[in-house]
Amino acid sequence: MDMEIFKIRPIMISLGILLATYFTFYISGASLIFPSFLLAAIAVGFMVNEDIKTSAVNGAILGVIGGIIINAFFIVLMYVQGYGSYVVSGILGYLLFFVIEVIIAALGGVLGFYVQTETLEDVEPEIPEDA
């Protein structure tokens, strides 16, 4: 029995999806951070394809890594724009965003697992005619 829960390949691919969608939305002016986390976590849950716990753990790991990167980007951007004193007072808001991002990513991993199981149930195996 394979006890490895942490899957690096799906997390790295989904982290790329997360960062690409985040920066695309950032450039366009729309604030769609949470849907970006959900989309990337669904991809993680879909790619892991083991069980619900593994999908949730990998989604949460994606949420932690992505949350650290994106919130660090927010903080650096605030300092560059001259709002350094506001960042110190707004740290609790960033921590709340971080927790919400991790929860959304874990739920997205579970959703991706269910999407994977539904697609596998709908596929009928091919039966060779000469058998």
Residue 1 maps to a domain = no
Mean pLDDT of 5-32: 76
Residue 70 maps to a domain = yes
- Is the pLDDT assigned to residue 116 strictly greater than 90? no
Q: What angle do CA 38, 44, 47 make, to 5 degrees?
A: 140
pLDDT digits (tens, 9 = 90+) for 21-58: 777 777 766 677 888 888 889 899 888 878 889 999 99
Residue 39 maps to a domain = yes
Domain that holds residue 103: 8-117
Structural domain count, the chain = 1
- Is the pLDDT assigned to residue 8 strictly greater than 60? yes
pLDDT of residue 106: 92
Residue 101 maps to a domain = yes
Decide if 108 contacts 40 (C-beta within 8 A). yes
Predicted TM-score (pTM) of the model is: 0.74
- Is the pLDDT assigned to residue 1 strictly greater than 50? no
Number of neighbours of residue 120 by Cβ within 10 angstroms = 9
Decide if 61 contacts 108 (C-beta within 8 A). no
pLDDT digits (tens, 9 = 90+) for 63-103: 999 999 988 888 888 888 888 778 777 778 888 889 998 99
DSSP string, the chain: -------HHHHHHHHHHHHHHHHHHHHHT---HHHHHHHHHHHHHHHH-S-HHHHHHHHHHHHHHHHHHHHHHHHHHHHHTT-HHHHHHTHHHHHHHHHHHHHHHHHHHHHHHHHHHHHHHHPPPP--TT-
Q: Specify the higher pLDDT residue, 73 or 4.
A: 73
pLDDT of residue 83: 81
Among 105, 97, 96, which residue's Cα sits nearest to residue 63?
A: 105
Residue 105 maps to a domain = yes
